[in-house]
Amino acid sequence: VDVLARYECPAITARRARRKEVSGVEQDPIVWERARGACVTDPDGNRFVDLTAGFGVASCGHGNPAVRAAVHAQVDRLVHGLGDAYPGRPRVELAEALARVLPGGLCQSIFASSGSEAVEAAIKCAVLATGRSRVVAFEDGYHGMSLGALPRSHYKPDFRQPFAGILPRIADFLRFGADLDGLRRTLREGEPVAALLVEPVQGRGGVNVAPPGWLRGLREACDEAGALLIFDEVMTGFGRGGELVLAGTAAADGVVPDLICLGKGLTSGFPLSACVGTERAMAGWGRSTGEAIHTSTFLGHPVGCAAALAVLALFERGGLLERGRELGGHMEGTLRALAERHPGRLSAPRGRGAIWGLTVSAAPGAPALCRCMLERGFLLIPAGRRGDALSFTPPLTTTRAQWDAAMQALEDCL
């Protein structure tokens, strides 16, 4: 960590000052050496249960054998293709598979490497489809740090402020879950809106669940305003929210967006993301006339696509969704019981599927609790604009014993 702090951008690694500031304890991150299932091992051989699944990524468990086998086989065949120009076979198969498993005509993909890039691709689609450039997003939403996604990430203003001078116009932010009449008014006022960008369950912003009927209201408001609806399911997708994606399910009022952004759990560990849209939403791009007006060197990376195909097979044939739902039900019950034992200190848990969070309103605060959990062998991170929430996004394969041990440790820390 000393070496990294010296040779990497200090804001990324040397977070000691910040950690000390918020928790009062001098602390370094642990270094990850190996990971299997829900467990991460550091270079000294200490094992930790990862209640974050590495930022909600390793849904199938770290180093899932089926995903590893697919990655190994692909590495032996073809590591790198020629981006948009000459596709590898896995990209063809994944584009087709996503069209098959996603609801409501979400059938055309733009592949990328990170969640932010998928969000940027969706914004480009909306701009082209509508000929407009105003994007409306929500308070406490998080869509990534790249320069196209950052102005739409309300969480946190501090992340945007130093770059305000070079950011494209900052999105209008509306209150998540706010009254729909006001929202409709905002969409009618001023410049016409290209897109509404929303997480059906806000992750990093503190695990906030859209109230029943609200997403349906967003759909109707978008239709009235001629704007596209973008679901950012980078966090909730691929089983995290209790469904393959929340789009089209009762958890999202049956609403299908015009565009959906996927990442994280899509590969359970390889940097690959996708923006998938309806034919209508993608039509604005027109047909390829030679040089692509949107691409990247690693677009549809063969190894990432092979990993995603293996992950999809685990959902379709390996019972992973059911496992995640069962874990999620257990998480909800145990977190509710914990919160009831600490009234005035812990809020009721919020969440869906296997993403849950709660607010910590008295000392020790969320960062200190995370440190205490680390010392007991559990990886946990704070969430929320003020860092006052605990967010739980463990691998869907986490066992009851691992989870129950985590709850016992949290009880001890409290």
Ligand X SMILES: Cc1ncc(COP(=O)(O)O)c(C=O)c1O
The H or E element spanning position 56 is helix 53-56
Torsion angle (degrees, nearest 10) of CA 54, 138, 15, 262: 30
Beta bridge mates, 277: 108, 259
Rule CB under 6 A: is residue 314 a binding residue for ligand X? no
Rounded Cα distance between 277 and 283, Å, is 9
Rule CB under 6 A: is residue 144 a binding residue for ligand X? yes
Q: How far is the CB of 37 from ligand X (least distance, A)?
A: 22
Assign 252 to helix, strand or coil.
helix
Among the listed ranges 42-50, 139-147, 208-216, 286-294, the one in contact with ligand X (CB under 6 A) is: 139-147
Task: Identify residues 237-296 at the interface with ligand X (CB under 6 A).
Answer: 263
Tokens representing 37 are 């299932």
Q: How far is the CB of 272 from ligand X (least distance, A)?
A: 10
Q: How far is the CB of 129 from ligand X (least distance, A)?
A: 21
Rounded Cα distance between 232 and 306, Å, is 23
Rule CB under 6 A: is residue 119 a binding residue for ligand X? yes
Which of 203, 217, 304, 365 binds ligand X (CB under 6 A)? It is: 203
How many residues bind ligand X (CB under 6 A)? The answer is: 15
Rule CB under 6 A: is residue 114 a binding residue for ligand X? yes
The H or E element spanning position 332 is helix 320-341
Which of 143, 152, 350, 371 binds ligand X (CB under 6 A)? It is: 143
Nearer to ligand X, 259 or 413 (CB): 259
DSSP string across 85-143? TB--HHHHHHHHHHHHHSSTT--EEEEESSHHHHHHHHHHHHHHHHS--EEEEETT---
Among the listed ranges 65-73, 112-120, 238-246, 299-307, the one in contact with ligand X (CB under 6 A) is: 112-120
DSSP string across 255-295? ---SEEEE-GGGTTSSS-EEEEE-HHHHGGG-S--SS-SS-
Nearer to ligand X, 263 or 372 (CB): 263
Rule CB under 6 A: is residue 115 a binding residue for ligand X? yes
In the bound complex, which residue of the shown chain has the CB atom lying closest to ligand X? 115
Rounded Cα distance between 259 and 252, Å, is 14
Rule CB under 6 A: is residue 32 a binding residue for ligand X? no
Pairing of strands 193-198, 108-112: unpaired
Rule CB under 6 A: is residue 234 a binding residue for ligand X? yes
Which of 142, 176, 231, 403 binds ligand X (CB under 6 A)? It is: 142
Rounded Cα distance between 125 and 133, Å, is 11
Assign 48 to helix, strand or coil.
strand
Which of 84, 140, 199, 243 binds ligand X (CB under 6 A)? It is: 199
Task: Identify residues 40-69 at the interface with ligand X (CB under 6 A).
Answer: 55
Q: How far is the CB of 385 from ligand X (least distance, A)?
A: 14
Nearer to ligand X, 376 or 385 (CB): 385
Nearer to ligand X, 225 or 299 (CB): 299
Nearer to ligand X, 346 or 350 (CB): 350
Summarize as ranges the residues that interact with ligand X (CB under 6 A).
Answer: 55, 114-116, 119, 142-144, 199, 203-204, 232, 234-235, 263
